[in-house]
Amino acid sequence: MADTLSRVQRIIVDRLGVDAAEVTLEASITEDLGGDSLDSMDLILELEDEFSIEISDADAEKIKTVGDIVSYINSHS
């Protein structure tokens, strides 16, 4: 879990230009971290590469927070 979170944090910090401290499990990608719709799609692609998984469009739409990402990855990889 901790390892997944730190890898996700690194990607989000890189893509969204935010501080690592802001990337908490509760943080919303769009509302708290300033991501727009293009960032969200870009992030999904990056996560797929990083964790060698495939996230369907339907599942991607349900992902709102950093915590959503971490639990999705932990249950699918």
Partner 1 sequence: MTKRVVITGMGVISPIGNDLSSFWNNVITGQSGIQTVTRFDVSEYPTKIAGEVNDFDPEVYMDKKDVRRMDRFVQFAVGAAKDALKHADLDLTTMDRDRVGVYIGSGIGGLSTLEEEHRKLMEKGPRRVSPFFIPMMIPNMAAGQVSISLGAKGPNSAAISACATGTNAIGDAAKIVERGEADVMIAGGTEATITPMAFAGFCSAKAMSTHNEEPQKASRPFDKERDGFVMGEGAGVLILENLDHALARGATIYAEVVGYGMTGDAHHLTSPAPEGEGAARSMKRALMSAGLAPEDIGYINAHGTSTGPNDKFETMAIKTTFGEHAYKLAVSSTKSMHGHMLGAAGGVEAIITALALKEGILPPTINYEHPDPECDLDYVPNEARKVQVRAALSNSLGFGGHNATIVLKSYEEL
Q: Other CB atoms closer than 10 Å to residue 1's CB: what's the count?
A: 10
Q: Would you say 1 or 10 has its CB closer to partner 1?
A: 10
- The span of 9-17, 20-28, 60-68, 69-77 binding partner 1 (CB under 8 A) equals 9-17
Figure out which of the listed residues 30, 41, 53, 76 binds partner 1, where binding follows CB under 8 A. Answer: 41
**Residue 21: CA count within 13 A, CB half-sphere:** 0
Assess 58 for contact with partner 1 (CB under 8 A): no
**What is the CA angle 51-75-68, rounded to 5?**
80
The catalytic site residues sit at 36
